[in-house]
Structure 1
Amino acid sequence: MTDQPTQPDAQVPSDQPQPISDRGSNRSRRPESDAFRTFMASAWGPRPDTLPEREEVADFLPRRHAAAGALFEGERLVIPAGTYKVRSNDTDYRFRAHSAFAHLSGLGGEKEPDTVLVLEPRSDEDASPTGHEAVLYFKPRASRTSREFYADSRYGEFWVGARPSLEEVSTATGLRTAHIDTLRDALAKDAGQVRLRVVRGVDTAVQTMVDEVRIQAGLPAGEDARADDEKLEEHLSEIRLCKDAWEIAQLRKAVDVTRAGFDDIIRALPRAVGHHRGERVIEGAFGAVAREEGNGLGYDTIAASGDHANTLHWIDNDGEVREGDLVLVDAGVEVDSLYTADITRTLPVNGTFTEVQARVYQAVLDACEAALARANEPGCRFRDINDAAMKLIATRLEEWGLLPVSAEESLAPEGQQHRRWMPHGTSHHLGLDVHDCAQARAEMYMDALLEPGMCFTIEPGLYFRADDMLLPEELRGMGVRIEDDCVVNQDGSVTRISEDIPRTIADVEAWIAQVQQR
């Protein structure tokens, strides 16, 4: 990886030690002569003079802004995109914007680090609040005559490519744009008369700036403002509970690409069997599709063969894949808009379920169907989906003689013995985050009635560990989970977005045979 000359050489008196912060430049020599600067700034061709097309998402942003500001009339709301996070020393992770920012700006992919969206309060002639105007503050590309152009590894065009102009971003998003250098003045305008809220924990520099403005204006700051700020974060999470048509289309796209990733997993199974880290063969096959066809992974892939499937978040993926195993793969592609799928399929490595594997798999599949059937009943609350799946699981465990009590007793709050073999919940909301809307209140999430636009998973499982002495030997060392992505339609019915990814025993076996014959 090339050296990163982000700062000019430090001038340190010879009798003083060089500060740690300046030592990153010791490994390189950078040209700083006037002749070089003049030469570097010369003879570049013209930039394209065409503006980008307006993005489809731009038409959905005003409604989102209105929803975001509805509880905070007359207040200035600050939503940072975030910044790069250090991976090691001077190398960073790829940038991924905070989900609240992505939702309200429409910017996906790796656009734009260090950007801030401000919902600026508006008022009429009588000073009565009239909603908010969204303004994007970011650092546009610099002139080719500037030092930034060739020497700044964070923003320079030579290092990271050409950043867009203010006009280009405004055209694409339909939002007013402004230079990030004007943000402080914008935040300070009428501060004291105008209250500020900021999404915390996203960008330390922006949060500090907001607190400085608050202090100067005599407003609560720091921990004294935490409750106000967290109310904003909670609200921005809750307005994502019901997706608009554009968001649902993005989730469908994510599921389609995820299906392609699972196809490549199946193609890779024979090679995985012969590899000392077969689980990583599976992980890599999916990851390649995610990066080629989307923005990347929505979360770290779980590729768990045999007994590893009983570790719910097994992401080490360093084990072998053996003939006769079931391999549990929990994976999702995040598309360029940053919406992600979340799919789990449990596949027989050799293409065929054994009788015992099929019995366990069918129980989990029946729990999926019971949960979806409950979701389609009038008056269903989110928590009812989980209850329906758990009832089926407990019933099967009782039929197999595994429960020390009846299924009914186990399902009671004072029981729950069945949870030994299914300790997680059945569903979570899905969207920009794989566990979307996580800051929402319980009454808006778990206890809420299903509403059109809600997107969520159904993912029951059974986990039979190899060292579980309560199990007959034939069941030990296998884990099964089936996970689908669902949407509540405008008529209140619930359908699986992921219906086309095979899930029955016969269809899974046929899928494996068909893909591996190509």
Structure 2
Amino acid sequence: MSTGENDTIADETVGAPVENSSTNRKQPFPQGFLDTISTGWAERPETRPAPRAQAPYAQRRRAAVSAAFPGKRLVIPAGSLKQRSNDTDYVFRAHSAFAHLTGWASDAEPDSVLVFEPTTDGHDVTLYFRERADRTTTEFYADATVGEFWIGPRPSLAGVAADLQVATAHLDEFAPVDGELFLDEDEALTRFVSELRLIKDDFEIAEMRRAVGITAQGFDDIIRELPAAVAHARGERVVEGVFHRRAREDGNGEGYDTIAASGPHACYLHWTRNDGTVVPGDLILVDAGVEADSLYTADITRTLPVSGRFSEVQRRVYETVREAADAAFAAAKVGVRFRDVHAAAMTVIAARTAEWGLLPVTAEEALDADRGGQHRRYMVHGTSHHLGIDVHDCAQARREMYYDGILTPGMVFTIEPGLYFQIDDLTVPAELRGIGVRIEDDILMTEDGPVNLSADIPRTADEVEAWMARLQG
């Protein structure tokens, strides 16, 4: 059964089907139903939970926003349900800035709005959302999108206020006014709330660790189920499904579409079709991350030899990528520029591809900022991006705060170099064609240097082989 709007049996007349309806799924209610549906229900106790752990952190984030925009009315919408097809919607996920500023995460209500109302000494902040309907209203039983008869219990204003430690009001009381600043419409506000996430607080870091820990279990699951993937005509889907089960059981789901790219598919950077075979002797590149219920996500890539052991050529490529990742990690120090992490990885990629005779120039010439780049054919993407409540977090931050920004304690970012030799690339020897390798880890910058949050997931070629042998027993 779907839960879209056309499941709504909204016509309260008796008798014939609804006239001039665009769907034959709407039917009238019999009079007996209308006479009895609002009676015979037990009282619902008003629950006022203790504040959730994120509440004080969200309060501090709101205070920072308030201080940055004195005298301005600010509107931060959660967003609405998005149509998947006809009368079905995608699972709702609130806008990341809304979740960050409210602490309302996987349980947030669609169409909610966080409003900063200017006062003489700052802002009064109110969270507007659709209060649950009384059972005497038609919304309760007739609206398949929000009615509790269809989707289950919804939160009350008082309960959310206690949970999130923010004033609440019914969505019907919210009204836009002239001159207010809307998220994603006002450039300054959109930029500020994005840059606010560049430095993670203690709650966020703990959630990132949680997401990485669940993701590690998901990779263990994949290795255990690789024989089933090999046996299936669409083995990549088996890998995707195994990880999805872990993500949904222990988290909110995946933070992004899983890439399960086996053989030549590993050379396609965003291969999410995942409909190919998994063949012994090939590599399978799995880029996957669990999103915790708080909406913070991991982003991990491991490249596995399907048969459990790397060939000589595969190992050479793999260990080169690891060398690049280790160089990037070593370059990540407090006070250096974010883009210098990428430069360190590319120095290794240029050196090795030149050494293998793949470049028409020297490694030094390839690294020239203006006339080089020949090595980028085999690694076209960047080495790092910020990570957090979005998999590509802080994307609206200014360049001088992001790529040209200074590494600071509290930043969380990826290190993910790779080498990709596409199956039809005539610039490389036949033995390399169809090999794609990426190694991706999630890094926390601290005063004492970088910490690899995903270090417990095996990384070296020897460690990967031992890991697979242990889990496949």
The interval holding the TM-score normalised by the smaller chain is: over 0.9
Task: State the alpha-carbon separation in 2 of the partners of residues 495 and 145 from structure 1.
Answer: 56
State the match for 2:22 in structure 1. 23
State the match for 1:502 in structure 2. 458
> Per-residue displacement from partner, 1:443-502 (whole Å, max 9, x unpaired)?
01000101111110000000011211121121111100000001112x151111111111
Is the Cα–Cα contact under 8 Å of residues 421 and 464 in structure 1 kept in the other structure?
A: yes
1:289 to 230, 238, 246: 246
CA positional deviation for 1:322 = 0.5
Task: State the alpha-carbon separation in 1 of the partners of residues 91 and 413 from structure 2.
Answer: 27
Is the Cα–Cα contact under 8 Å of residues 81 and 114 in structure 1 kept in the other structure?
A: yes
Task: State the alpha-carbon separation in 2 of the partners of residues 311 and 6 from structure 1.
Answer: 46
1:330 to 287, 295, 316: 287
Matches within 5 A, 1:145-156: 145-156=136-147
CA positional deviation for 1:8 = 2.5
CA positional deviation for 1:30 = 3.1
> Per-residue displacement from partner, 1:61-104 (whole Å, max 9, x unpaired)?
12101222333111010000011011111111110101010100
SS at match of 1:463: strand
Matches within 5 A, 1:88-107: 88-107=85-104
State the match for 1:312 in structure 2. 269
State the match for 2:182 in structure 1. 198
Structure 2's unaligned 5+ residue stretches are none
State the match for 1:143 in structure 2. 134
Is the Cα–Cα contact under 8 Å of residues 398 and 406 in structure 1 kept in the other structure?
A: yes
Is the Cα–Cα contact under 8 Å of residues 76 and 97 in structure 2 kept in the other structure?
A: yes
Is 1:114 matched with 2:111? yes
CA positional deviation for 1:116 = 0.4
Is the Cα–Cα contact under 8 Å of residues 300 and 441 in structure 2 kept in the other structure?
A: yes
State the match for 2:76 in structure 1. 79
Counterpart of 2:454 in structure 1: which amino acid? S
1:400 to 329, 350, 356: 356
Greater per-residue helix proportion: 1
Task: State the alpha-carbon separation in 1 of the partners of residues 56 and 378 from structure 2.
Answer: 46
Is 1:133 matched with 2:90? no
SS at match of 1:56: coil
> Per-residue displacement from partner, 1:207-263 (whole Å, max 9, x unpaired)?
xxxxxxxxxxxxxxxxxxx5xx12211111111111111011111111011111111
Is 1:470 matched with 2:420? no
Task: State the alpha-carbon separation in 1 of the partners of residues 9 and 172 from structure 2.
Answer: 19
State the match for 1:431 in structure 2. 388
Task: State the alpha-carbon separation in 2 of the partners of residues 246 and 257 from structure 1.
Answer: 17
State the match for 1:375 in structure 2. 332
Counterpart of 1:31 in structure 2: which amino acid? F
Change (3 A) 1:280 1:58: same
Task: State the alpha-carbon separation in 2 of the partners of residues 71 and 259 from structure 1.
Answer: 39
Task: State the alpha-carbon separation in 2 of the partners of residues 451 and 72 from structure 1.
Answer: 25
Is the Cα–Cα contact under 8 Å of residues 321 and 438 in structure 2 kept in the other structure?
A: yes
Is 1:170 matched with 2:168? no
SS at match of 1:475: coil
Change (3 A) 1:360 1:50: same
Is the Cα–Cα contact under 8 Å of residues 12 and 29 in structure 2 kept in the other structure?
A: no
Moved over 3 A (4+): none
> Per-residue displacement from partner, 1:86-129 (whole Å, max 9, x unpaired)?
11111111101010101001111142111000112221xxxxxx
Counterpart of 2:411 in structure 1: which amino acid? M
Is 1:160 matched with 2:151? yes
Matches within 5 A, 1:344-363: 344-363=301-320
TM-score of the aligned structures, taking structure 1 as reference length: 0.87
RMSD: 1.7
Task: State the alpha-carbon separation in 1 of the partners of residues 218 and 342 from structure 2.
Answer: 28
Task: State the alpha-carbon separation in 1 of the partners of residues 363 and 81 from structure 2.
Answer: 50
TM-score of the aligned structures, taking structure 2 as reference length: 0.95
Counterpart of 1:314 in structure 2: which amino acid? W
- Percent identity, please: 57
Task: State the alpha-carbon separation in 2 of the partners of residues 157 and 10 from structure 1.
Answer: 22
Task: State the alpha-carbon separation in 2 of the partners of residues 9 and 320 from structure 1.
Answer: 53
Task: State the alpha-carbon separation in 1 of the partners of residues 275 and 41 from structure 2.
Answer: 49
SS at match of 1:66: helix
Counterpart of 1:230 in structure 2: which amino acid? E
Is the Cα–Cα contact under 8 Å of residues 11 and 29 in structure 2 kept in the other structure?
A: no
Is the Cα–Cα contact under 8 Å of residues 78 and 197 in structure 1 kept in the other structure?
A: yes
SS at match of 1:473: coil
SS at match of 1:487: strand
Task: State the alpha-carbon separation in 1 of the partners of residues 472 and 124 from structure 2.
Answer: 54
Task: State the alpha-carbon separation in 2 of the partners of residues 423 and 396 from structure 1.
Answer: 16
